[in-house]
Amino acid sequence: MLQSGTEPNVAGMATFDGVCVDFTKMKATLDERPIHLTSLEFKILKFFLQNAERVVSREELLKEAFGYLDYPSDTVNDHILHLRQKLERDPSHPIHFCTVRGAGYKFRA
Q: What is the CATH number of the domain that holds 96?
A: 1.10.10.10
Q: List, in sequence order, every residue forming a beta bridge with 35; answer none if it has no partner.
A: 28
Q: How far apart are CA 11 and CA 91, in angstroms?
A: 29
pLDDT of residue 92: 95
Whether 78 is in a domain gets the answer: yes
**pLDDT on residue 48:** 95
Q: For residue 81, is it within any domain? A: yes
Residue 1's pLDDT band (boundaries 50, 70, 90)?
A: very low
**pLDDT score of 5:** 46
Q: Is residue 44 part of a domain?
A: yes
The string of DSSP codes covering 21-40 is EETTTTEEEETTEEE---HH
Q: 96 vs 31, 54, 69, CA distance in Å?
A: 16, 12, 26
Task: Report DSSP state, residue 57.
Answer: -
What is the mean pLDDT of the segment spanning 61-85? 83
Supply the range of the domain harboring residue 50.
38-107
Give a yes or no: residue 15 inside a domain. Answer: no
Q: What is the C-alpha to C-alpha distance for residues 29 and 18, in angstroms, rounded to an integer?
A: 8
- Backbone Cα Rg of the chain: 13
